[in-house]
Amino acid sequence: MDNTPALIVVTPLLAALFAGLAAWIKERLSYPIALIGLAVSVYSAFKVLMQVITSGTIHYRVAGWAPPMGIEYSIDLLNAMVLLIVSSIAFLNLIASYKSVARETSDRTGSFYTMYLLFVTGLLGVTATGDLFNLYVLIEITSLTSYAMVALGDRDRGPLASLNYIFIGVIGASFYLLGVGYLYMQTGSLNMADVATILSGIHGSSTVLVAFILMMIGVWIKMALFPLHVWLPNAYSYSPIAFARVVAPLMTKVMVYVMIRMMITVFGFDYIFKTLNLSHAVVWLATIAILAGAIMALSQKNLKKMLAYIIVCEIGYMVGGAWMGNQLGMTGAILHILNDALMTFALFLAVGNMAYKLKKVDLPDLKGLFGKMPWTMAGFVLAAFSIIGVPPTCGFFSKWYLILAAFEAGAWHFAAALVISSLICAVLFFRVFEICFFEPISESHGQKDGYSHVAIEEAPISMLIVSGLVSLSLIVAGLYSGTIVNTIILPFLR
């Protein structure tokens, strides 16, 4: 019996519990246990992806009961791709974070790794499941662990940022739960495929409409779509860098995956685009989100906050692409999930290296970094080019699909917003390059805050290797975009 789909989600959970035990008995074992757990998960995700590409959708019945009586994992191409992205980024981040975790949470590293593994379990479970209520439980695991870990960062502002994140996050998850309740009232089932079959007969019902709106708003709150994004900049910039590096690329993208899953599998294209006809309004909302994110990023003086607003902008791309109504748009959105995860991860890796050595990443503090940290800055430059959309990095290809989709659907405002935001990102990043490259490193750096002169040298090898690997993968993913689209995305959308 092939249990690999279950292994992807269960191995990090088991590793988390063993790491939790080890934290009380022998703390040095937690890190190796975490590494082994995530490595097995990456390998299983890879095996499952290969299997789905060759033989089609996998249906795995947990506990042996047939759906809708029991819970089912139905893993198709979209699932498998996102599972592989999530597990590999989490694994690479774990390798790169050993030193910064040891510094930031010195007396409780075992518990930190346990939380980290539980967070990754939640993300993997959200991606793999085929049951609506199971999705809610896993969203709550992800959220709860992220609330706790955000508060571990900045001692002054972390807890307050996390508490505000809790309030907004609870509203989002509860709206999703209410939506599931309304759906359950009308259909009587909780399995995604089953609900889809029953829903195809009751399109006109007001309950289903309200359920759809509630679920969408809940997921939009969780993915930080403007104007529901207010929790994101504070939460991501005040969290410990090891956690910010894994939550920024992954959490919002997994929520975009949930939205696409709702749209395609549960409600279906017919209902959303023909019966409801909401796509114009949502594409306008996405346009405003892109512009707002880019403009707010311009006014930030802290590098981490600037990157957080760029994430808000990128989410706008994906929501607009998915709601465009044509196949090109959905292709662009799904490709952008992969690309944006890699780009954001590369950016935050570079920022993490800087923060590890500099301790403060306000823009004025970055003077002359090109000379002192050349490899880190090389990774940063590659990631920045990818966000701006320079070929052959991967960011260019997904933006290309989205612009084509906008032209085909006649949404000129969306295409204009894409171009304008790319220009604004270019301005942003070139400003950072100018500060890092041309201004000589000031002698007084580090001494104005009272601590002794910080020796700025290159970051540790483990961080550099991971950073280099991910930056290279940006180019690789760009060159292979065609293969990815043809093997994974187009067959899924057929």
Partner 1 sequence: MKFLGFIVVCLTGALLLYGTGEFPDWGDPNSPASLHLSDYYIENAVDQTKVPNLVTAVLADYRGFDTMFETSVIFCAGLACFLLLRDFREKKERFYRHVPTGVILHVKSGKKVLKTGKEFEHMDKDWVPSDLIIKTVCRILIPFIQIYALYVVAHGDFSPGGGFQGGVIFGSSLILLAISYDLKTLVKRIKEKVLGIYAALGVLIYVGIAAICMPMGGRFLDYAALAPLVWDPHHVRALGMLGVEIGVGMAVTAVMAIIYINIVSEGRHDEGL
Partner 2 sequence: MTDLLALIVAKYNYWLYVILMMIGLYAMIAKNNLIKKLVGMNIFQTAIILFYVSIGYKRDATIPIIQSAHGGQDAHAAVIHAADYINPLPHVLMLTAIVVSVATFGVAMALAVRIYQRYQTLEEDELRMRLVDIGPEK
Q: Which is nearer to partner 1, 208 or 350 (CB)?
A: 208
- Chosen residue from 6, 21, 29, 148 binding partner 2 by CB under 8 A: 148
**Residue 459, helix vs strand vs coil:** coil
Binding mask 181-220 for partner 2 (x = CB under 8 A): x--xx----x------------------------------
Q: What values do phi and psi take at 72, rounded to 5?
A: -125, 140
Residue 432 binds what, of partner 2, partner 1, none (CB under 5 to 8 Å, by partner type)? none
Concatenating the DSSP letter of every residue in 286-304 gives HHHHHHHHHHHHHT--BHH
Neighbours of 135 (CB within 10 A): 24
Angle at 287 between CA 286 and CA 288, to 5 degrees: 90
User: How far, in Å, CA of 149 to CA of 141, rounded?
Assistant: 12
Q: Do residues 259 and 386 lie in contact, with contact meaning Cβ atoms separated by under 8 Å?
A: no
The pair of three-digit structure tokens given for residue 93, joined into one six-digit string: 């981040």
Q: Which is nearer to partner 1, 184 or 273 (CB)?
A: 184
Q: Least distance to partner 1 from the beta carbon of 75, Å?
A: 14
Decide if residue 65 touches partner 2 (CB under 8 A).
Answer: no
Q: Which is nearer to partner 1, 190 or 313 (CB)?
A: 190
Q: Least distance to partner 1 from the beta carbon of 429, Å?
A: 35
Residue 50 binds what, of partner 1, partner 2, none (CB under 5 to 8 Å, by partner type)? none
Q: Which is nearer to partner 1, 120 or 402 (CB)?
A: 120
Q: Least distance to partner 2 from the beta carbon of 427, Å?
A: 23
Angle at 313 between CA 133 and CA 406, to 5 degrees: 90
Please name the amino acid found at residue 213. Answer: I
Residue 237 binds what, of partner 2, partner 1, none (CB under 5 to 8 Å, by partner type)? partner 2
The pair of three-digit structure tokens given for residue 416, joined into one six-digit string: 């204009």
The pair of three-digit structure tokens given for residue 215, joined into one six-digit string: 């679920």
Binding mask 292-311 for partner 2 (x = CB under 8 A): ----------x---------
User: How far, in Å, CA of 425 to CA of 427, rounded?
Assistant: 5
Q: Which residues bind partner 1 (CB under 8 A)?
A: 1, 3, 6, 10, 13-14, 16-18, 20-21, 23-25, 60-65, 68-71, 105, 107-108, 111-112, 114-115, 118, 121, 125, 133-134, 137-138, 140-141, 144-145, 147-149, 151-152, 159, 178, 182, 184-190, 198, 205-207, 209-211, 213-214
| 302: β partners | 362
- Chosen residue from 156, 206, 451, 455 binding partner 2 by CB under 8 A: 156
- Chosen residue from 27, 51, 104, 174 binding partner 2 by CB under 8 A: 174
Q: Which is nearer to partner 2, 189 or 467 (CB)?
A: 189
Which ranges of 359-411 does DSSP label H, i.e. alpha helix?
369-372, 374-388, 394-409
Torsion of CA 412, 417, 420, 422, to 10 degrees: -120
User: How far, in Å, CA of 81 to CA of 334, rounded?
Assistant: 10
- Could you tell me how many residues make up the chain? 494
Residue 193 binds what, of partner 2, partner 1, none (CB under 5 to 8 Å, by partner type)? none
Q: Which is nearer to partner 1, 51 or 326 (CB)?
A: 51
User: How far, in Å, CA of 223 to CA of 253, rounded?
Assistant: 7
Residue 295 binds what, of partner 2, partner 1, none (CB under 5 to 8 Å, by partner type)? none
By CB under 8 A, what part of segment 123-142 binds partner 2? 133, 137, 140
Please name the amino acid found at residue 157. Answer: R
Residue 24 binds what, of partner 2, partner 1, none (CB under 5 to 8 Å, by partner type)? partner 1
Residue 115 binds what, of partner 1, partner 2, none (CB under 5 to 8 Å, by partner type)? partner 1
Angle at 398 between CA 394 and CA 404, to 5 degrees: 145
Which ranges of 105-189 does DSSP label H, i.e. alpha helix?
109-128, 132-150, 158-187
Provide the binding-site residues for partner 2, judged by CB under 8 A: 133, 137, 140, 144, 147-148, 151, 154-157, 159-160, 162-163, 166-167, 170-171, 174, 177-178, 181, 184-185, 190, 237-238, 302, 359-360, 362
